[in-house]
Amino acid sequence: MRRVTNFSAGPSTLPYSVLKKAQAEFTSYQNTGLSILEMSHRSKHFEEILFDTKQLLQKLMNIPNNYQVLFLQGGASLQFSMVPLNLFHRTNHAYYAHTGTWSEKAIQEARKMGEVTMISSSEDKAFTYIPPIHLPNHPSADYIHITTNNTIEGTRYDTIPNEFDIPLVADMSSNILSEVYDVTKFGLIYAGAQKNIGPAGLTIVIIRDDLIGKAPQNCPTMLDYSTYVKTKSLYNTPPTFSIYMTKLVLEWLQKQGGVEGIEKVNKEKARLLYSFLDHSPLFHSKVEPKFRSIMNIPFTTYNAELDQLFIQTALEHDFLELQGHRSTGGMRASLYNAMSIESVRKLVDFMKLFEQSYLLEGNYVSNKDL
Amino acid sequence: MRRVTNFSAGPSTLPYSVLKKAQAEFTSYQNTGLSILEMSHRSKHFEEILFDTKQLLQKLMNIPNNYQVLFLQGGASLQFSMVPLNLFHRTNHAYYAHTGTWSEKAIQEARKMGEVTMISSSEDKAFTYIPPIHLPNHPSADYIHITTNNTIEGTRYDTIPNEFDIPLVADMSSNILSEVYDVTKFGLIYAGAQKNIGPAGLTIVIIRDDLIGKAPQNCPTMLDYSTYVKTKSLYNTPPTFSIYMTKLVLEWLQKQGGVEGIEKVNKEKARLLYSFLDHSPLFHSKVEPKFRSIMNIPFTTYNAELDQLFIQTALEHDFLELQGHRSTGGMRASLYNAMSIESVRKLVDFMKLFEQSYLLEGNYVSNKDL
């Protein structure tokens, strides 16, 4: 079977062994005679899958007992609304750090429901760094919101600010499970699954007990976190297949030495690419070294036409989805957990060849030269 | 590969040919070298799948050009809130027909956002019939809501009431695509996918143009139908794999002669089972014949212990999920599109054997007797 190297920012590459396992039992899960896709969400088999998935995540992230793990739908975009809807209860006010496209959307949605104060922003330098958080002298808000990793801009908090008395909420969509986080620093963590967790269609929420049950009475049942707590995420039909795939991915992650193990691999992958970028006369990273993402690495030649040529040539060599986000242009390589070191080495080797060929021959690189 | 007969009310049985096709290209879609699960929702391949799925549905349901087909998440349960949130704009008042468990939940959610008048109810007879709709002399509401098929109670509107000037909204989760409906009778149709459309995790909304764009300014972006219209259901990452599977199911449906073709099969399947039930001294349907669902057929022996014995014995013969909803007890056979006539014949034959064995031997039927 043909396999390409897929640098998509999400949905993104999955471990091949996981795909093969899911394929093998696709029409008959564990010889039950039916596909996971056909299985009642209230069947014993599926309830086991749901339970195992939750337990695996609790173990992998070392989630304490006073936190609930919830399985939802709608992606981070729906969490942008569910967070304020559920957590605004005392001051109707929240502090948001503005670090890119996604934090901006989070802010816009929260502003529909209450007051938002932007407590830091890196907009002044096109979001190429993580700004420090400065709270006012007498801070008063229901929560502080950060985006731990900025998928489009390629930045990441190098340390998690946690000297505050106010619950910290994190959009961890693009770097959950990529490195060790101390869950106790957070009041709530949310993440769309389609990057490091599993397929699209599933959203994970990890919420501390004291933040549950604060939604207003007229809150839609499906938007109230307590609905998912009370029903163990089975209020209505959950995205069953996405949850099953997530279980397989988490089992795979466990075999990689858990989050500790994969963090080492991820840091080595990122080091390989950044170290090349920092010495390349052609390719450049715009992000301040201290705040560079280890998951999403944007780069550019500072020449839009040459960027296009690179992306096209890479595609012809089976390196997929290296184009940057449509809002930024340039290139971006997403190196999620399932991307191997070997694949990153191959990418760097290819970039070196492209660069040499370009520098030797001027502003044109034909496919056959590589 | 082992296959059982799966009467689950949802997620439910899928056409085996569809499962085989998805399995074959599971790790490399159309030799692209990556799985559908790994594919960016903004890739050419996925955008084609999304477009084709929409077009297939438009064709199969004969959806006019002044209706939009939207792909969402959250199931019918989230639609219970999205419908009033988007359609309450003039009177903040809606008429609801109360025909069972799901209509009750729809009413509860709508009441959080405005006034609800129950314009008909079959609660007096345990929801075993469909009550006529009587509007007041000077009706004034933003919409009328019905549930075309009641999954738990096994009832179905035999005709769609449409003499009103008020937009008709229908929860069609459990019988969409099972029989021909005139879409022009409706202002809005919604359905969770996990019964007749495809896997769990996808929700379909069909909405008439004049009902779009009426949500309040502070409506969460993800809950505003116009978001999905403007972005062609690509505001954020949609449930890509569920959409792909839906495309395969719709292609399969087309080969069955479309909705017209499957309606004949569905009516014959239902006729086989009801005709047995109506002549059985042991098994009974409680539903008024005129309003009987052709998708979900509850039945009972009026003896809870015997019902349990039947369900257990059926399970031993690979007839799965014949237990009734946990709120009603008894049995239920869901005969969605993907359930073959042959499987229904086998079920009826099995029920006959069980019945004979029971009537011959008294109140105990051992597995070996069958």
**B340 has a chain A CB within 8 A of its CB:** no
Residue pairs spanning A and B at CB distance below 8 A: 222
pLDDT in tens, A61-108: 999 999 999 999 999 999 999 999 999 999 999 999 999 999 999 999
Residue A91: strand, helix, or coil: coil
CA angle, B209 then B101 then B129, to 5°: 90
Residue A164, Cβ neighbours under 10 Å: how many? 16
Shared-domain flag, residues A284 and A227: no
CA-based nearest residue to A287, from A195, A156, A155:
A155
Rounding to the nearest 10 degrees, give the CA dihedral for residues B84, B162, B95, B83: -10
DSSP state of A323: B
* Residue B363 and residue B220 share a domain: no
List CB contacts (< 8 A) between B49 and chain A: none
Q: Which residues pair with B298 in a beta bridge?
A: B332
Q: Are residues A228 and A261 in the same domain?
A: no
Residues of chain B contacting residue A32, judged by C-beta atoms under 8 Å apart: 2, 4
Question: What residues in B contact A104, CB-CB < 8 Å?
Answer: none
Q: Indicate if A362 and A291 belong to the same structural domain.
A: yes
Are B95 and B181 in the same domain?
A: yes
Nearest-CA neighbor of A359 among A280, A302, A253, A304? A280
Instruction: Please indicate if any CB of chain B lies within 8 Å of the CB of A114.
Output: no
Contacts B79 to A, Cβ<8 Å: none
A23 versus B162: which is more confidently predicted? A23
Pair B288, B140 in one domain:
no
If we measure between CA atoms, which residue out of B253, B308, B335, B285 comes closest to residue B7?
Answer: B335
| CA geometry: angle B226, B231, B233, nearest 5 deg | 85
Which of B255, B270, B286 lies at the terminal end of a domain, its last residue? B255
Q: Is B102 annotated as a binding residue?
A: yes
Helix (H) / strand (E) containing A148:
none
What CATH code is carried by the domain that includes residue A269? 3.90.1150.10
Q: Which residues make Cβ contacts (< 8 Å) with residue B64, sequence separation at least 6?
A: B183, B184
Within a domain: residue B225?
yes
Cβ of B200 within 8 Å of Cβ of A23? The answer is no
The interface predicted TM-score (ipTM) is 0.96
Count structural domains, chain A: 2
Classify residue A9: in a domain, yes or no.
Answer: no
A210 with A266, same domain? no
* Residue from B54, B142, B171, B307 carrying the catalytic annotation: B171
Residues of chain B numbered 35-74 and touching chain A (CB < 8 Å):
35, 37-43, 73-74
Token duo for residue A161: 């600010």
Does some domain include residue B77?
yes
**Chain A interface mutation, best of B28, B32, B37, highest count of A Cβ atoms under 10 Å:** B37
User: Is the CB of A20 inside 8 Å of chain B's CB atoms?
Assistant: yes
Which residue among A8, A27, A42 places its CB closest to the CB of B23?
A27
Of B294, B345, B300, the C-alpha closest to B319 is: B345
Candidate list A102, A252, A286, A307, residue with the active-site label: A102
A165 a catalytic residue:
no
A2 to chain B: closest CA residue: B33
The residues, ordered by sequence, that sit 6+ positions from B94 with a Cβ below 8 Å of its Cβ are: B84, B87, B88, B110, B114, B115, B116, B117, B141, B142, B143, B144, B145
CB atoms within 10 A of CB B346: 15
The domain boundary residue, chosen from B226, B255, B284: B255
**Cβ(B18)–Cβ(B249) below 8 Å:** yes
Q: What is the CATH number of the domain that holds A210?
A: 3.40.640.10
With CA atoms as reference, report the closest residue to B321 among B6, B2, B4, B1: B6
Does residue B287 form part of some domain?
yes
Could you tell me if B12 lies within 8 Å of chain A, comparing CB atoms? yes
pTM: 0.96
B327 to chain A, any CB pair closer than 8 A? The answer is no
Q: Is B76 annotated as a binding residue?
A: yes
* A250 and A264 together in one domain: no
pLDDT tens string, chain B, 370 residues long: the values are 789 999 999 999 999 999 999 999 999 999 999 999 999 999 999 999 999 999 999 999 999 999 999 999 999 999 999 999 999 999 999 999 999 999 999 999 999 999 999 999 999 999 999 999 989 889 999 999 999 999 999 999 999 987 789 999 999 999 999 999 999 999 999 999 999 999 999 999 999 999 999 999 999 999 999 999 999 999 999 999 999 999 999 999 999 999 999 999 999 999 999 999 999 999 999 999 999 999 999 999 999 999 999 999 999 999 999 999 988 999 999 999 999 999 999 999 999 999 999 988 765 444 444 5
**Mean pLDDT, residues A106-119:** 97
Can you tell me which residue has the tokens 């509007």?
B135
* Secondary element (H or E) of residue B116: strand B115-121
Its sign, for the CA torsion B127, B133, B136, B141, is positive
Scan for tokens 């109670």, then name that residue.
B153
Q: Which domain holds residue A362?
A: 257-369
| Interface test mutation site (partner B, options A86, A115, A237, max chain B beta carbons within 10 A) | A237
Nearest to B167 by CA among B209, B137, B205, B211: B211
Per DSSP bridges, beta strands B168-171 and B143-147 are parallel
Do A209 and A223 share a structural domain? Answer: yes
Does A8 fall in a domain?
no
Final residue before a domain boundary, out of B206, B231, B255: B255
Domain check: are A41 and A179 in the same one?
Answer: yes
Q: How far away is chain B from the Cα of A49, in angstroms, using its nearest Cα?
A: 15
CB contact under 8 A, A1 and B239: no
Same-domain pairing of B204 and B311: no
Identify whether A7 is part of a domain. Answer: no
Smallest Cα–Cα separation from A146: which of A113, A177, A168? A168
Contact B292, B156 (CB under 8 A): yes
A63 lies in the same domain as A133: yes
B124 is known as an active-site residue: no
**Residue A103 backbone zone (phi > 0: left; psi -120 to 50: alpha; other: beta):** alpha
Among this protein's residues, is A102 annotated catalytic? yes
A323 is in an annotated binding site: no
Q: How far is A180 from chain B (nearest CA, A)?
A: 24
Q: Is residue B298 assigned to a domain?
A: yes
In terms of CA atoms, which chain A residue is nearest residue B218? A112
In a domain, B7, yes or no: no
Q: Give chain B positions within 8 Å (CB) of A202.
A: 201
